[in-house]
Amino acid sequence: MSVDDKPLNFLEQIIKKDLEEGVHQKLITRFPPEPNGYLHIGHAKSICLNFGLAETFGGECNLRFDDTNPAKEEMEYVEAIEKDVRWLGFQWAGEVRYASSYFDSLYEWAVHLVKHGKAYVCELSADEARKYRGTLTEAGQNSPYRDRPVEESLDLLERMKTGGFDEGSKALRAKIDMAHGNMNMRDPILYRIRKQAHHQTGDKWCIYPTYDFAHGQEDAIENITHSICTLEFADHRPLYDWFIENLPVPSRPRQYEFGRLNLNYTVTSKRKLKQLVDEGHVSGWDDPRMPTIAGYRRRGYTPASIRKFCDMIGVTKSDGVVDVAMLEHAIRDDLDKNAPRAMCVLRPLKVVLSNYTGTEMLTAAGHPNRDDLASRQLAFGAEIYIDKADFREEANKKYKRLVIGKRVRLRNAYVIEADEVLKNEAGEITEVKARVIENTLGKDPEDGVKAKGVIHWVAAHDCAEFTVNLYDRLFTDAAPDAGGKDFLSCLNPESLLVLEGCKGEKSLLNAEPGQGFQFEREGYFCRDEKSESLQFNRTISLRDSWAKIENK
């Protein structure tokens, strides 16, 4: 679909107009994550937006790491972010870029501001600077160091750069307006002293630029035409523009803001996500319960489903909360259409077919609506496993599964009838004895007594055994961190249930890491990509069980 064949969101309208009027000859966007954690679902929206706009308008999108805070940044995060972007199906223009690659230019521009009387070295402590800054209703006060001579500030800045002062003792600040109605314009900090090695530049620097100072200048160096940010940066735009106007930058990018993605039943604060990891509430950043792209990938979500979800929610100028059920619908819809089918018994109960001897191979479709997915061969024998929930000794008419004296069809196989059960000393059923109704492979019973329902099964003599991890939503509260709530108190104690000894089709032994399936009648699952043993993670149930809870 071309840009002219669909309704345009407000950003597309701006870009289309700029290109048609010759304001820009080519669209250049950027995705600028800070490598201080793994990317989450909110970042996925930004990735899809920035790279998607470049694709739509025949432009380019840069991947740039805004690595201005070495205290919180690691190469692990850099590598994870690159993997996430590629996995979503996007490729950045040229080489990966880093803010740290521009540190020399940024420092020269800081010196430029000092020389032109638009920046100064301040020696207020953090507490003092906070008091001088004022409030939303009261103007701030000028720092006592604001009018120090230019040469003095230049000397102090150089000594800051060469490690001559302790952390926190001095900072370089822009000289704008301490009475400005926008707090971001009240002499913001440009450089802080941080005597910490950087993952890209090593020990070269002991002062680092703030994001606000670096952001616009990086855009200008890269000739970004449309710098697209989430809405919380709207108040920073005047500062972004101030730097562009007061520095000899090579181009003049413009910043635009869109509403960020907020999901219910989800926390996307990097600080809180890191807390979940550090305190062991989850197994890591890629735990399948985490709202990180890595977590969704390991859980079995597909790039297409996440891109479809981002397209469904659209692009707006205001923040809002999106129902996580929309994301879950996107993955259900994708896997329903594309995931090959298999049978897996999560809680096995042995059934012995007393009148069946030998073994045979039966054929089942790889997918009910996909001829391109190969059919599967199912072993069948005198002993099979069914799920414990699919058998009762007695049941009412609403129960459509196996009952003593009643019949049920084994999916893709025969009709059977249950005769008796064996129990252990605790009274628990350990085995069901049943009979195959003859001539019912693909046919109804000749005696006219039909099966009450259809259940799944696997052959006991030829099956795979593995662990299944039943993942669910991480939080029970729709707004786990709203209103000062302790989000940890909202953790779902049933977000992970581990089932050992599950039985599945033999072919599942050959499943590739990350490969997804529909386990018939159970849900969508994928082979865990990290476990050394054979494990399958539940991606999503067949139906939305949370809707029933929420509607009660």
Is 352 within the bounds of a domain?
yes
Q: CATH number for the domain including 236?
A: 3.40.50.620
CA atoms of 154 and 347, how far apart (whole Å): 73
Q: CATH number for the domain including 377?
A: 2.40.240.10
Q: Contact 341/320 with Cβ under 8 angstroms?
A: no
Q: 149 and 198 share a domain?
A: yes
Residue 2 has pLDDT above 70, yes or no: no
Q: Which two tokens stand for residue 307?
A: 């891109």
Give the rounded percent of residues in the chain with a pLDDT score beyond 90.
Answer: 95
* Domain final residue, candidates 233, 258, 283: 258
Residue-wise pLDDT for 184-211, tens only, equals 999 999 999 999 999 999 999 999 999 9
Q: Contact 325/72 with Cβ under 8 angstroms?
A: no
pTM for the full model? 0.94
Is 461 within the bounds of a domain?
no
Is 239 within the bounds of a domain?
yes
Sign (positive/negative) of CA torsion 220, 224, 230, 235? positive
Q: What is the pLDDT of residue 370?
A: 94
Tokens 């600040």 correspond to what residue? 173
Q: What single string gives the DSSP state of each residue in 277-322? A: HHTTSSSSTT-TTSSBHHHHHHHT--HHHHHHHHHHH---SS-EEE
* Domain final residue, candidates 258, 276, 310: 258
CA atoms of 401 and 408, how far apart (whole Å): 6
Task: Given the residues 64, 270, 401, 407, select the one marked as catalytic.
Answer: 270
CA atoms of 369 and 336, how far apart (whole Å): 10
* Domain final residue, candidates 258, 287, 322: 258
Q: 386 and 529 share a domain?
A: no
Q: 490 and 409 share a domain?
A: no
Task: Given the residues 72, 118, 260, 272, select the one marked as catalytic.
Answer: 260
Q: List the domain range (segments joined by +) for residue 83.
A: 3-258
Q: 252 and 269 share a domain?
A: no
Is 445 within the bounds of a domain?
yes
Q: What mean pLDDT is reported for the chain?
A: 96
Q: CATH number for the domain including 513?
A: 1.10.1160.10
Q: Which two tokens stand for residue 113?
A: 């501001």
* β-pair type (344-345, 496-505): antiparallel
Q: 108 and 205 share a domain?
A: yes
Q: 78 and 195 share a domain?
A: yes
Q: 322 and 389 share a domain?
A: no
Q: How many domains does the chain have?
A: 3
Q: What single string gives the DSSP state of each residue in 442-511? A: TS--TTS---S-EE--EETTSEEEEEEEEE--SBSSSSTTGGG--GGGGB-TTSEEEEEEEEEEGGGGGP
Task: Given the residues 34, 123, 438, 465, select the one marked as catalytic.
Answer: 34
Q: Considering only CA atoms, which of 495, 493, 501, 416 is closest in space to residue 450?
A: 416
Q: If you average pLDDT over residues 23-41, what whole number do you get?
A: 97
Q: How confident is the model at residue 266 (pLDDT cuts 50, 70, 90)?
A: very high
Q: 192 and 325 share a domain?
A: no
Is 42 within the bounds of a domain?
yes
Tell me, rounded to whole angstroms, the distance of Cα 484 from its chain centroid.
Answer: 24
Is 270 part of the annotated catalytic residue set? yes
**Minimum mean pLDDT among 93-97, 235-239, 316-320, 415-419: which range?**
316-320
